[in-house]
Amino acid sequence: MKIVFPTDFSNAAENAYVYALKLAERLEASITVVHVYEVLQVHSWVEESTNMASVNDKITIGEFERFRKEIDAFKRIAADNRLEHIDVNYSLKESDYVVEAILDEAKESGADIIVIGTTGAKGLKEIFFGSVASKVIESATCPVFMVPDTANYKGILKIGLTLEYKTGEQELIEKSLAFTRRLQGHLHCLHVDVYDPEKTKVKLLEYKEAFKHQSDITFHVHYELDVEKGILEFMKFNQIDVVIMRVQHQSMLKELFSYSIARRIAYHTDIPLLALHTDKQ
């Protein structure tokens, strides 16, 4: 397997790199660390009075030096975690389109997953308002693993999946379970409801029957008037390591709990999120 890891030299990126290394170890994957930088684009009349080629050469040299230092930092992180044996490659790209360059790297390298850091709760909140991470999630053809800089690696064994008990969730459960098994973890499927309708009981029994022979998946129903509170309480009580969200192309984050709930939860959780793509229903 192959992991693509974009870096912007931030603390968030260095924190996320620990997760990338741990995932690589579990998945028996290699990592491609990629940094994308932009050169200056100016009007022709400015270029006539300024040697832009020289300026951009200096930018490239500066980015190369920063990348070299970042490589040293990543090697120290690997050593600190006794993961020097992980196969890591490095890619420095010049592009006016950062997201496209990241996606191109993922496509060219045949990436199975992209791991990307965000700036904590603020960064997760910005997923809903057009950040680089959001655009990568929306357009990537492989899963995207997002790590807030406030996340503290304790393992990736307890995987949380929120369900709305809607049509088409079977594929999501199966994909989530396949990922969980690669990590030798346990999948906790949660549905939060405000009361106990017959529909909820029927759907719960349907899922339990479909996966009754699988010992690494558990279905939970939590009754709470405040759905957001119910989700947060469940994640905290069960010490969930990663929460899986469902993404449909052209309908980004539509199925992450619900749009309004997800936007609020983004302020309150430091748990990494895994975006899985499913076919549009």
Segments making up each domain of the chain, as ranges: 2-148, 158-277
pLDDT for 44 equals 47
Fold equal for 2-148 and 158-277: yes
Average pLDDT taken over every residue of the chain: 80
Q: Which residues of 197-223 are buried (b: 16+ CB within 10 A; e: fewer)?
A: eeeeeebbeebeeebeeeeebebebee
Region 158-277: CATH code = 3.40.50.620
Q: pTM for this structure? A: 0.81
Region 2-148: CATH code = 3.40.50.620
pLDDT for 167 equals 76
In 39-87, the DSSP E strands lie at none
Beta bridge pairs of residue 160: 188, 243
pLDDT for 42 equals 45
Question: Residues 108-123: pLDDT tens digits?
Answer: 989 999 999 887 555 5
pLDDT for 280 equals 52
Rounded Cα–Cα distance for residues 46 and 43 (Å): 5
- Do the Cβ atoms of 71 and 90 come closer than 8 Å? yes
| Positions of the chain with pLDDT under 70 | 39-63, 120-130, 196, 248-268, 278-281
Question: Residues 17-67: pLDDT tens digits?
Answer: 999 999 999 999 999 999 887 754 544 444 454 444 454 445 456 667 778
226-230 long-range contacts, Cβ below 8 Å, gap at least 24? 227/192, 227/194, 227/257, 227/258, 227/261, 228/261, 228/264, 228/265, 228/268, 230/192
Q: Cβ of 180: how many Cβ atoms within 10 Å?
A: 22
Rounded Cα–Cα distance for residues 77 and 59 (Å): 27
**DSSP 8-state class, residue 250:** T
Q: Token pair of 52, please?
A: 């832009």
**In Å, what is the CA distance from 7 to each residue of 58, 71, 158, 213?**
20, 10, 26, 41
